[in-house]
Structure 1
Amino acid sequence: MMAPAPFYPEIAEGPDNGSCFWVGTGDGLRLRVGYWKATGRTKGTIFLFPGRTEYVELQGRTAKSFADRGFSICTIDWRGHGLSDRVLSNPVTLHVNRFSDYQYDVAAIIAAASAVDMPKPWFLLGNSMGGCIGLRALLSGVSFSACAFTAPMWGLRMSRVQSVVARPVSWAAQVIGQGERYVPGHDGNNYALSNPFEGNRITRDPTNYEYWVSQARSKPCLQTAGSSMQWLHQSLLECGHLSKTHPPDVPCIAFCGEQDGVVDIEVIRDRMNAWPNGRFELMPGARHALLLEVPKIRETVISEISDHFESIQIAV
């Protein structure tokens, strides 16, 4: 039996039937999984793999949009995120020992979804860092009928100088025992609470930015801060390894914002150009968090993902 875990529906603003429970990983951590089951006839379940710093409640509005279209949603607090076990004694630092550790988390959410009988077919929606984790899961044989990605972290956007020094400097930090130090430019402050809407790199929509800010104010226990040097090094290694792989034979659609300052748009475009049954869309005027963007962009992305999954559901 899986034990119930805390869930804050009043800040999530998702469907009325959201639930969370604890799951264990193969390497001994306790994680929080959340789900919303669509009422009535369902078109399947979307596994929403969140981005860096995200957590279950931040997916509430997205879950509502997909539930209104007939999909159930299953999501997770990755290790080091939300209410899942934090990796370091400094709990706000985003850190991972090896990027492959996130695959323990994938195995946990898949097992949990089976245990609560989440309806099939199953689809993958990977956002940002969740897109990196999700692609590795697909390549490792985790079965989804179709997939979609929003701003997937298949490469980090950096200046030419940053791209030259980031890997050796982050590697050296690990070697000399400084892997837990913050990446330059990161610190112990939560992004939403320390950056005003004006000039933020997340979204152009003030309402959805305030949605995150208000959650951060009311539930600091869910929040994280900057990333460690080891997280950076492990992420760069994983992106490099993924760049050498062939796309899986799973129908795919991917979106990226034209103004995204976090991920490498050209890496995403190149991968999608090589993806069988793949399609890439660059959203004009959008920033990084497409699922928190202005209504026109957000609704377009959600609608096209829903249509993509529904077309596969019909064929299953």
Structure 2
Amino acid sequence: MDSILYATPDNPVPENHFAGFLEGSGGVKIRYAVFRSSEREAKGTVVLLQGRSECIEKYYETINDLTARGLWVATFDWRGQAGSGRLLTASHAGHVSRFADYEADLSLFLEKIVLPDARLPFFIVAHSTGALVALSQAPFLENRIERMVLAAPFVALGGQSMSQRRIAIIARLASMTGLGNRTFRRSEPSFDFASNVVSSDARRFARNAAIYAAHPELSIGWPSARWLNETLRAMARVTHQDHLTRIRIPTLLLCPTADVLVPRKAIGDLARIFRAARLIEIDGARHELFQEADRYRAQAMAAIDAFIPGSDAEDTGLGA
């Protein structure tokens, strides 16, 4: 077992890497890792941004796929989850004090780890909440990031018993009245495949569940009211036309059409007003594209191959 990264029997730590801890915004400890390609000449580095509640270990398969293609991968755990510093001592909730802290941690990771220690050019591949952070920071990343791939970007909240507007109002009131650390649910998240809505692949789902069973310290609970308030406010900001016109990084949006957590319509609406972006829909796929069945996941990886590092993008119609 790596001293910083963890392995399970069917999920070994990829070779040829270095890992450590970075001091994030406000002194919060951020766990990171950089995985080198075995190819003699690197094609660049993918900055891999996870979704909420995820961990570096969950992406070993995707990391191996990318390094096999000659790309390095640099990734880290968001504050408040996985191997990074937790923000609440009396609660297992997924929490963030300010969405801007996510952005600051990404900027510090790029400045302190990626720029000095990885290989140019740099790209972003981001999932869900990671894609929301990337969208928010994109106007300031033009001189650092060549291209972005955003998978199931968290630009709207679906699959809930209440409307997004009502959830936003309740989350805002809770945050204003000192209840921001509370969650809206009493039970812990389930790792039951039959009831899950994020992946149709039983093997990958079981592999990921085994990571958290072996290392429960990597898991977190439901999002806090404060987390919801901060991310819902960020959604409203990054999907506004004024923000999107400031993004000039060529961007590929991957939309799983059977995603109940981020509505298909929301990503389609984003694509229509996002001039730097191209949309690819993956029919029948659920939210976690990189953890999905081969027939869906292969389409996502093929789209990334065509778009990053960009040598073939213009030939496939994905260039921007």
Same fold (TM over 0.5): yes
Other-structure match for 1:105: 105
The 1:112/1:13 distance shift into structure 2, 3 A limit, reads farther
Other-structure match for 2:211: 215
Between the aligned partners of 2:271 and 2:166, the Cα distance in structure 1 is 27
Other-structure match for 2:163: 162
The 1:158/1:200 distance shift into structure 2, 3 A limit, reads closer
Following superposition, the deviation at residue 27 of structure 1 comes to 1.6
Other-structure match for 2:318: none
The 1:299/1:13 distance shift into structure 2, 3 A limit, reads farther
Identity %: 22
Q: Deviations over 1:169-203 (max 9, x none)?
A: 111111221111112xx3462x3xx2311131110
* The 10-residue stretch of structure 1 (173-182 or 42-51) with the greater mean CA deviation from structure 2: 173-182
Other-structure match for 2:33: 34
- Number of matched pairs: 307
The 1:160/1:181 distance shift into structure 2, 3 A limit, reads closer
Between the aligned partners of 2:87 and 2:181, the Cα distance in structure 1 is 10
Other-structure match for 1:243: 239
* The 10-residue stretch of structure 1 (86-95 or 282-291) with the greater mean CA deviation from structure 2: 86-95
Which residues of structure 1 form unaligned runs of 5+? Answer: none
Other-structure match for 1:278: 277
SS state at 1:174 partner: helix
SS state at 1:310 partner: coil
Q: Runs (4+) of structure 1 moved beyond 3 Å?
A: 9-14, 158-161, 312-315
Other-structure match for 2:317: none
Between the aligned partners of 1:75 and 1:104, the Cα distance in structure 2 is 15
Other-structure match for 2:151: 150
Between the aligned partners of 1:238 and 1:147, the Cα distance in structure 2 is 18
Q: Is 1:178 equivalent to 2:172 in the alignment? A: no
Other-structure match for 2:252: 253
TM-score between both structures, scaled by the size of structure 2: 0.89
The 1:46/1:305 distance shift into structure 2, 3 A limit, reads same
TM-score between both structures, scaled by the size of structure 1: 0.90
The 1:83/1:146 distance shift into structure 2, 3 A limit, reads same
Following superposition, the deviation at residue 297 of structure 1 comes to 1.1
The 1:27/1:276 distance shift into structure 2, 3 A limit, reads same
Following superposition, the deviation at residue 251 of structure 1 comes to 1.1
Between the aligned partners of 2:81 and 2:161, the Cα distance in structure 1 is 30
Which residues of structure 2 form unaligned runs of 5+? Answer: 315-320
Matching residue's letter, 2:174: A
Q: Deviations over 1:22-79 (max 9, x none)?
A: 1012321111111111112211100011000011111111101111111111111110
Other-structure match for 2:226: 230
Other-structure match for 1:122: 122
Other-structure match for 1:294: 293
Other-structure match for 1:198: 194
Between the aligned partners of 1:5 and 1:234, the Cα distance in structure 2 is 33
Between the aligned partners of 2:46 and 2:140, the Cα distance in structure 1 is 19
Q: Is the 8 A contact 1:202 1:289 kept in 2?
A: yes
Matching residue's letter, 1:208: R
SS state at 1:215 partner: helix
Between the aligned partners of 1:147 and 1:59, the Cα distance in structure 2 is 18
